[in-house]
Structure 1
Amino acid sequence: MAQVSAQRIDYQMAQGGQWQALCGRTDLVPNSGVVAWVDGAQVALFYLHDAEGERLFAVDNRDPLSGANVIGRGIVGHLGGALVIASPLYKQHYRLDDGACLEYPEQRLRVWPVRLRGETVEIDLA
């Protein structure tokens, strides 16, 4: 599974990226996480469809605090004005847009650019 930067879904081709097909839109679970294997890493994908529109985020599935691959099973929510994923083990919160941990600033999830291109989810491995 690969890690992907969180960002709004981009239907345009990015300049200079190394985009790779990851899965189909039908593999995503709205407002929840799924995990994929990319380039030797597990990536947790979060597909949000709400009042702000469609958003897709890709972050490392490995919880830096526990070392377990569980982030894709976390709960999505808002905390301190940020869209976050709560780790299911120790409940620390990571911002989906940049992977920063709110409780432990030295902890961070890797993020990757991710987009929907038609019905295909693509991740930028550059």
Structure 2
Amino acid sequence: MNTATANYTAVCEIDDILPGTGVCALVEGRHVAVFRVGQSDFHAIDNVDPKSGASVLSRGLVGNLGDRLVVASPLYKNHFDLRTGECLEMPELSVATHGVRIEGQRVLVALGG
């Protein structure tokens, strides 16, 4: 998807997401987890855990496995790469990633971006 023409939706203010945590947002009817890593690094993936069907990934623990930035699902502890959406334990359970950009103090998300 061309990020210049993507449809970005404002989901929250930067300060609404503490570093090392995530929030859930509804973007065009889709549950999206938006994570803040450090002060200015943001990532978005689908929020629905594919193994359980529950909208919980935004509540997972953010960290690193080797050089991969991941979130661990709070239910089954599967790790999802925040850059690619890949599920490290079961690649067939991978989730979509979404574009994130910052405008002023707002965090905006584009599906599939």
Q: State the structure with bigger RCO (CA 8 A, min sep 6), 1 or 2.
A: 1
1:1-126 alignment, distance < 5 Å: 14-49=3-38, 54-125=40-111
Per the normalisation by structure 1, the TM-score is: 0.80
Amino acid across the alignment from 1:25? I
Let me know the Cα RMSD of the aligned residues.
1.5
Runs of 4+ in structure 1 displaced over 6 angstroms?
Answer: none
Greater Cα shift, 69-78 or 27-36 = 27-36
Q: How many residues align?
A: 110
Amino acid across the alignment from 1:105? P
Percent of residue pairs identical: 44
Q: Following the alignment from structure 1 to structure 2, what is the Cα–Cα distance between the partners of residues 103 and 68? A: 18
**Contact 2:21/2:36 (<8 A) preserved:** yes
Structure 1 residue runs without a partner (length 5+): 1-13
